[in-house]
Structure 1
Amino acid sequence: MKLHVNPKRLVGQRNPMLYGHFIEHFHRQIYDGIYDPENSLSDEDGFRTDIIDAMKKIKVPILRWPGGCFVSSYHWKDAVGKNRQPFFDKAWRVEDPNTFGTDEYIKMCRKIGCEPYICTNAGTGTAEEMSDWVEYCNLETEGKYAKWRIANGHEKPYNVKYWSIGNENYGNWEIGAKSSDEWWRLVKEAAKMILHVSPTVELSAAALSDIDWTLNLLKNCGSYLKWVSLHGYWDMVPEKNELANYTQCMAYTDQVDRAVKDVRGLLTALHLEKNIKIAFDEWNLRSWHHPNVHTIQQGIDKDSYVTPRNKNDDNSSYTMADAVFTACFLNAMNRNCDIVGMANFAPILNTRGCIYSYKDGIVLRSTYHVFDLYVNYMGDLVLDDWQEGEHPKLTVTAKNGKQVTTELLDIVATQHSENGMISVSIVNKDPEHAQTLSICFDEMNLSFCQVQEHRITGTDVDSYNDINHNEVMIETLPAKEIQGTYEAVLPAHSINVIDFKF
């Protein structure tokens, strides 16, 4: 097969926030995670410096917090100031000490160098409580909440630009779940109050690729919103930690941009596609394992509903399947960069995160290296490409037992606006066989070109990283000079970024 890339045809400019992340008060993400004041690796503010450095390396552009399901019974005022009391987190059924709140979160974002993105409580919370939070963060001196922030030692406003109204409030698992009509009414009132406080913020609201829910939301609240929030987990394992194997995961890659297409259609039908972008602000291949919590019959003893969460910490389960799926997802978001402006991998740390922490250090899981590859090697301008010849296919048996046929190669071409270099991402999903792809550049007379390949692969599909065990990382091949068409050899189960310098 031959890949044609046309640098004169621009799909769009990727927003850096497509490579965003998410962190929640769940298990070891915050406490005994990034915020661990007693750890010798933590700085004077209690933040793990090794984790912060790993986040900076992948240039985290935006970090969504504090949830997630956690936020739907979280009251932000209890976690600022000196008089903080522990509370029982009704979403995850554990005690939260409230020692990490808004001020600590903003401090963390500044250490990372990322934009804060606060998700508000639209479950047990009110529109007024949401707007009070915006007052605390964004007003200079007016009102008691700005004065409270100043009294807490933060004279300058935080100027938080991105705010989400709610989290998955359409789901019966969510505390304070809403009907479609209840939802748009709350969103509208919250948006009005928030924009009265801080007119330049950009608001998102929980949505999904359901026509009735999202149509009601857009019809009634579209003029207030800059974003609609979508979530996606494909290998669902909340109750039983039975992970899909590599080939089963490849079946999911055919579904990645389905929700984007559906919501794009709704935005276009309502003539809102120029005003509202999609924020895919919670996504991962696999859902988090947390049995006996989002069920009617709750677990009684902690060994039935808290202890099993440790299974998320098994580093051997984060393999090339996770890496390849993650690359396919990021390719899809790049191809849809005209309508998708933000995506947040969930979470960045521990649980299903791309970083795993333990007392003495961190492990960079397979998915971390995918972000490293895309953030530091791919361009910001997405180019048009087309494939000549027969497209190779991969037919696999999905986890549900059905046969699924998907494209064997997942490709996106980009250009770097600062220097004109073209970088092509090619994912080879084949579990066993290398593939060959001819790459040429239409509209360009190539008398000389320097090529350099960067790739992620493993000795097999189950390769993984753990403490003192590194099988998955970025490999950079020696540069070579070519003329005309380039023949790329793509190893089995690999993610490849090929740079072309003219």
Structure 2
Amino acid sequence: MKLNIDTRRTIGKRDKMIYGHFIEHFHRQIYGGIFDPGNPLSDRDGFRLDVIEAMRKIKVPILRWPGGCFVSAHHWKDAVGPERKPSFDKAWRVEEPNTFGTDEYIAFCRKVGCEPYICTNAGTGNAEEMSDWVEYCNLSNEGPYAKQRISNGHRDPYKVRYWSIGNENYGGWEIGAKSAEEWGRLVTESAKMMLRVDPQTELSAAALADLDWNINLLRNCGDRINWISIHDYWDAIHQTNDYADYEQSIAYTNHLDDKIVKVQGILNAMGLQNKIRIAFDEWNLRGWYHPNIHTVKQGLTTADYLTPRDLNDENCRYTMADAVFTACFLNMCNRNCTVVGMANFAPVVNTRGCIFTHKDGIVLRSTYHVFDLYVNNLGETVLDTYVENMPQIQVREKTGGTVGMDALDIITTLDTHEGCIVVAAVNKDPHRAWDLELEWVGPFVSSVYTIQTLMGTGTESYNDINHVDAEPGKPVTVNYNPGTVISLPAHSVNIIRFANPVNKN
């Protein structure tokens, strides 16, 4: 198997926002997650310092908030100012204390060093409420809401650039779901008002890979939005918590870019490919477990619908399957960098997140280490490479039967700042290591490479409190000569860095 690399052939430059994250008012993501007043591990503002440090390490570029389904019945004005009144969260059927609102979210983003990305209430909310939120965040002192922000102790505007109109409003599970026709009109009026408050905002709108929905949306407001928002959770276990095993999880990687291809085709057909980019702003391998809540028949006791959510935090469930899938998804985003400009792993903390919190510290799940490897190693320019004699494997699908696929998922990037070529090579094969040879076209001067591998001791390796079995080994430096073969272990994510393969001058 041979990887052909020509530094002169590029796909494009990826936006760092493809490594973004998401947080919602669900279970322990906010309260007891990023916000834990009174815990010795929290700062004086109530934010977990260990979480902030972990998020800084993976250089979280953007954080989407407050939902998610939560936002479709959330009124932001209830969660600002000195007087916070609890409300009943109709999305998740719990009391929301409203102690974590806009001001706390902005403060957290600043501590992490990431861009805020606010998702607005397009369920029970309206265009005026959305534009009032922009006024609160972005105007200097004009209007009652900017003045309210100032009176709340925040003189300078927050300058929130990224805003999403709605969340999954196409879905019958969503509070305030809309028809395609209703959605096009609401987004148009909302965008109109939000841009009149701050013309520098970038707007996205909830969408899916559906022709009728997107045509209605884009015909109405394609000239006012910058992004089209899509979501996916491939292992849809919201009601059952029936986890796909390693092979079943890997089978999903055959369909990672299905929605991208469809949405990109619609954008191209409507002449919007150079104006609107895709924000894959909620994604994860596995759907969150919340039984009897998005169903017609609701759970009657907390044992039916609330207590089961604790099972999302079983750390032994987040194995090399999650890590390999996550790496393949990030490879897909890099390959589609000309159209995918943002992606938000859902969520960043607890539930299915890459960071797990407990009262005495945190656990970095296998997926966290994938972000660490990618964010801190890959270059910004994606090269157009190809593999000769790609080996094929057969894996079991969750729906039954088997499916064939490439054993490896590989991207190659150029780090122009360091003058390095970095290869991200994912071996999806659950059992076998594969050897990779590189064929260089054009200038090449490197005589060494470093390789860092995340693989664990098996496909079921995971991390938990006092149990670490899925973290990268230390980088290993190896002499390189043309024809050198690099071994990629089974079920592994590998970062291979060639120092100075091109002349930086």
TM-score tier (shorter): over 0.9
Letter in 1 for 2:472: I
Separation in 2 of the partners of 1:379 and 1:402? 38
Name the structure 2 match of 1:298. 298
Check if 1:478 corresponds to 2:496: no
| Structure 1 residue 440 displacement after superposition | 2.1
| Structure 1 residue 479 displacement after superposition | 1.1
Q: Which runs of 5 or more structure 2 residues have no equivalent in the other structure?
A: 501-505
Name the structure 1 match of 2:186. 186
Q: Say if 2:452 and 2:476, in contact at 8 Å, map to a contact too.
A: no
Within 5 Å, which residues of 2 pair with 1:76-475?
76-388=76-388, 390-446=389-445, 448-475=446-473
| Structure 1 residue 477 displacement after superposition | 3.7
Within 5 Å, which residues of 2 pair with 1:6-85?
6-85=6-85
2:496 corresponds, among 495, 498, 502, to 498
| Structure 1 residue 218 displacement after superposition | 1.2
From the superposition, tell whether residues 445 and 17 of structure 1 become closer, same or farther in structure 2 (CA, over 3 Å): closer
Local SS of the residue matching 2:260 = helix
Letter in 1 for 2:346: A
Local SS of the residue matching 2:417 = coil
Local SS of the residue matching 2:376 = helix
Letter in 2 for 1:301: T
Q: Give percent identity, aligned residues only.
A: 60
With normalisation by structure 1, the TM-score equals 0.99
Runs of 4+ off more than 6 Å: none
Local SS of the residue matching 1:412 = strand
Letter in 2 for 1:97: P
Local SS of the residue matching 1:483 = coil
From the superposition, tell whether residues 368 and 445 of structure 1 become closer, same or farther in structure 2 (CA, over 3 Å): closer
Separation in 2 of the partners of 1:10 and 1:124? 45
Separation in 2 of the partners of 1:452 and 1:401? 40
| Structure 1 residue 445 displacement after superposition | 4.5
Separation in 2 of the partners of 1:441 and 1:129? 56
Q: Say if 2:290 and 2:308, in contact at 8 Å, map to a contact too.
A: yes
Q: Say if 2:455 and 2:470, in contact at 8 Å, map to a contact too.
A: yes
Q: Say if 2:245 and 2:321, in contact at 8 Å, map to a contact too.
A: yes
Local SS of the residue matching 1:473 = coil
Cα deviation 1:220-265 (Å, max 9, x = unaligned): 1110010000101000111111100000011100000111111111
Separation in 1 of the partners of 2:64 and 2:133? 15
Letter in 1 for 2:480: I
Separation in 1 of the partners of 2:395 and 2:215? 35
Q: Which runs of 5 or more structure 1 residues have no equivalent in the other structure?
A: none
Q: Say if 1:440 and 1:486, in contact at 8 Å, map to a contact too.
A: no
Separation in 1 of the partners of 2:401 and 2:168? 28
Letter in 1 for 2:105: Y
Deviates more, 1:324-333 or 1:206-215: 206-215
Q: Say if 1:20 and 1:61, in contact at 8 Å, map to a contact too.
A: yes
Deviates more, 1:102-111 or 1:467-476: 467-476
Separation in 1 of the partners of 2:303 and 2:167? 27
| Structure 1 residue 474 displacement after superposition | 1.3
Letter in 1 for 2:355: I
With normalisation by structure 2, the TM-score equals 0.98
Q: Say if 1:278 and 1:342, in contact at 8 Å, map to a contact too.
A: yes
Local SS of the residue matching 2:309 = helix
When the two chains are superposed, the root-mean-square deviation of aligned CA atoms in Å is 0.8
| Structure 1 residue 266 displacement after superposition | 0.6
Separation in 2 of the partners of 1:486 and 1:419? 23
| Structure 1 residue 444 displacement after superposition | 2.3
Letter in 2 for 1:481: N
- Give aligned pairs, total: 500
| Structure 1 residue 476 displacement after superposition | 2.7
| Structure 1 residue 484 displacement after superposition | 2.0
| Structure 1 residue 215 displacement after superposition | 1.6
